[in-house]
Structure 1
Amino acid sequence: MPSSANPFTAPSRKPVLIVLHGEHSSPGRIGRLLRELGAPLDIRRPRFGDPLPETMADHSGAVFFGGPMSANDEEDWLKREIDWIGAPLKEQKPFLGICLGAQLLARHLGHRVESHPEGRVEVGYYPIRPTQRGHSLCDCAFPTRVYQWHREGFDCPNGAVLLAEGEDFEAQAIQVGDKAFGFQFHPDVTYAMICKWTVTALERMEQPGAQKRERHIDGWFQYDGAVARWTSAFLSRWLGPADCAGRAFAAAE
């Protein structure tokens, strides 16, 4: 069942489908901002048996979040998620994949998701380079340093437009059609999430290319303001006005 909306914001949209991959995962900042935009959250965890809807008729959009598994794993539930992404693409409904979710979008497009050839990871705050299309995505400057937590990535799939690129992993943000997006980085992350991840997965900070815990914390205070402003502006454009939530999010010129 959809979770209740922010009591201070009158719901004026169909729910946004939220797909989480951890038993105790949270939609973080993305969930809060969607509620502020008047969108209730329909939170589902297919990994733990929750079904996905057959169509997007009862939802105004879908967000697939990250997780500890690989996009190349062979579990049936993961394959079903990859196949299901065809529903919002076909129905021209807003779709957003974050980290693992972006990789699942790439897999749906028939593209490879791979580890770095030198075993490097991105765990911490890293610079990215927005493309011209990325800069014109919404009325806010695209952030140039973002929070990452992944060991696999992909380059830009056929049929997608590159919005931002990185050094170790090329595709940091892509757009597919008018309404589907994939972000390798984590605009959803909150300070509490960073504190938790860097304690419960301390070993990740020992991998090649990863940053030490103190740099994660310092990075939050240095860079999160720009990420927060951009994420709010992006989601407002992504969903569109409440009275015409089905309108196409035209591709950036």
Structure 2
Amino acid sequence: MSLFSTSRSRARILVVQHSDQAPGGNFCDSLQRHGAMLTTIRPLENAALPVAPDAFDGLVVLGGPQHAFDDAAGPHFMALMTLMRQFDRQEKPVAGICLGAQLLARAYGGRTEPLGVLEFGFIQHCLTREGQRDPLLRGIDLPPLMAFHEDTFTLPETAVLLIQGDQCPHQCFRIGHRAYGFQPHPEVDEKTVRQWITMFRDDEIGTYVAYRRQFDDAWIDRLLDELPEHIAASEAYCRAIAENWLALACRPPIFRNRER
């Protein structure tokens, strides 16, 4: 199901990228295929965040190895969370992925914290009743999605849980007017996942070295064998939700600049 009513969009989308190993992938590619104009900034490379969302129609905040509760590792986090709220206050859509989802939860009063385990690989979650009715997700089959995180978050008081998991209950939520947080990585392509698997297997990501023994070589080999099938399903899902999300950026606000 698509919310799109036109074939092309001229929406201006701000993308905040926290790591070269966590690019916008299929999500941002889908936005561009529909004509969106993307501006990508890397605040950890001294690129300044805009002080207001006026020049943009939507905001995408990507993942990264940082912890959402560690402001020393992310000195821009406070300004970014303010910007997230400003976008939504103007009824401009926000999409937070992994770290971006955790920061979105924190921006609205949620608590970000260690999960206690590592979620790694393609995991099947399920839609909540609200998720089945949500305009972004409704009518789209939910496949196993790539997870790679050791942190989680509590839901802000006004958030609506859309996708839930067993080991990590909060997988996707909606908050405010048009803001969505995705704990998994629907945006990943095969190249990125293979890079993550190699780095994890070779203990190149210091934060995750302690979890390596939980995933033996046989498990990793199975993941690699199943990767093409998982990626095909994940890419189709990502294209659908990205298209629906972009449609929100093309809708006029109902309550312009309404304060909460």
TM-score (norm 2): 0.82
User: How many angstroms does 1:24 deviate by?
Assistant: 5.8
Counting matched residue pairs gives 236
1:222 corresponds, among 218, 229, 239, to 229
RMSD: 2.4
2:129 maps to 1:132: yes
Q: Deviations over 1:122-158 (max 9, x none)?
A: 0111121111221233454241421101000123221
Name the counterpart of 1:80.
79
CA gap 1:124/1:77 in 2 versus in 1, 3 angstroms: same
CA gap 1:156/1:220 in 2 versus in 1, 3 angstroms: farther
Q: Give distance in 2, aligned partners of 1:111 and 1:199.
A: 33
Say if 1:140 and 1:233, in contact at 8 Å, map to a contact too: no
Say if 2:143 and 2:237, in contact at 8 Å, map to a contact too: no
2:67 maps to 1:65: no
2:186 maps to 1:193: no
1:19-38 matched pairs, under 5 angstroms: 19-23=16-20, 25-38=22-35
2:51 corresponds, among 33, 50, 54, to 54
2:220 maps to 1:213: yes
Q: Give distance in 2, aligned partners of 1:24 and 1:206.
A: 20
SS of match in other structure, 1:217: helix
Say if 1:82 and 1:104, in contact at 8 Å, map to a contact too: yes
Name the counterpart of 1:238.
245
Q: Give distance in 1, aligned partners of 2:178 and 2:209.
A: 34
Say if 1:122 and 1:151, in contact at 8 Å, map to a contact too: yes
Query: Which piece of structure 1 moves more, 202-211 or 147-156?
Result: 202-211
User: How many angstroms does 1:225 deviate by?
Assistant: 3.0
SS of match in other structure, 1:85: helix
Name the counterpart of 1:158.
157
Say if 2:190 and 2:231, in contact at 8 Å, map to a contact too: no
Q: Give distance in 2, aligned partners of 1:130 and 1:147.
A: 16
Name the counterpart of 1:42.
39
Name the counterpart of 1:167.
166
CA gap 1:210/1:111 in 2 versus in 1, 3 angstroms: farther
Say if 1:126 and 1:146, in contact at 8 Å, map to a contact too: yes
CA gap 1:122/1:60 in 2 versus in 1, 3 angstroms: same
Q: Give distance in 2, aligned partners of 1:67 and 1:121.
A: 15
Say if 2:18 and 2:44, in contact at 8 Å, map to a contact too: yes
Matched-pair identity in %: 29
CA gap 1:246/1:217 in 2 versus in 1, 3 angstroms: farther
SS of match in other structure, 1:158: coil
Q: Give distance in 2, aligned partners of 1:192 and 1:39.
A: 23
CA gap 1:206/1:198 in 2 versus in 1, 3 angstroms: farther
Q: Deviations over 1:149-204 (max 9, x none)?
A: 10001232211100011111111000013310000000110000011111123234
Give 5+ residue unaligned stretches, structure 1: 1-9, 249-253
Query: Which piece of structure 1 moves more, 144-153 or 50-59?
Result: 50-59
